[in-house]
Amino acid sequence: MEDKAINVLYIDDEPNNINSFKASFRRTFNVFTAESAEEGRKILDTETIHVILSDQRMPKMTGIEFFQSIIDTHPDPIRILITGYTDINAVIDAINLGQVYKYLSKPWNEEDIKNFIYKAYEVVELRQKNLQLTNKLMDANKKLEFLARQNLLS
């Protein structure tokens, strides 16, 4: 797997965290960053993003609210929530409302983040392959139905 093919969006309102994330992962992944949910949405509208990591506590919109708001328009990216606070209600909401794949706490471990991104990307690839196979199966079924109708008419 060529790492650079994985597009990762990191959203955090703290510039130091963004700089740290970029410095840690820019050589491994295509890293896009945003300091707000609004900026993150603009990036999603213009780029193909595979994995989104978002801070939970941000001004205007929490990470969970952001994930919940993009479910209909951007269902494909895998979502990872990162927070410096332990709040069981946030974990529950992240899973139930934001369809979050993983919930991580700050400070994060570089190796853990890298592994979670790889695993999340595997899910993206499996979903894409599943869709392709489903489409091929539907096409084959249509052809079989056509042949069956032709045989009935003969």
Question: What is the DSSP annotation of 78-106?
Answer: EEEEEESS--HHHHHHHHHTT--SEEEES
Backbone phi, then psi, for 105, in 5-degree steps?
-110, 150
The per-residue pLDDT for range 56-102, each reduced to its tens digit, is 888 899 898 999 999 999 999 999 998 876 666 666 666 655 577 78
Reported pTM: 0.81
User: Does pLDDT of 21 surpass 90?
Assistant: yes
pLDDT score recorded for residue 107 = 83
Query: How is the chain split into domains, by residue range?
Result: 3-124
Task: Tell which residue, 65, 105, 67, has the closest CA to residue 85.
Answer: 105
Contacts of 106 (CB under 8 A, 6+ apart): 17, 82, 83, 84
pLDDT score recorded for residue 86 = 67
The per-residue pLDDT for range 118-153, each reduced to its tens digit, is 999 999 999 889 989 999 999 988 988 888 888 777
Does the 3-124 domain belong in CATH 3.40.50.2300?
A: yes
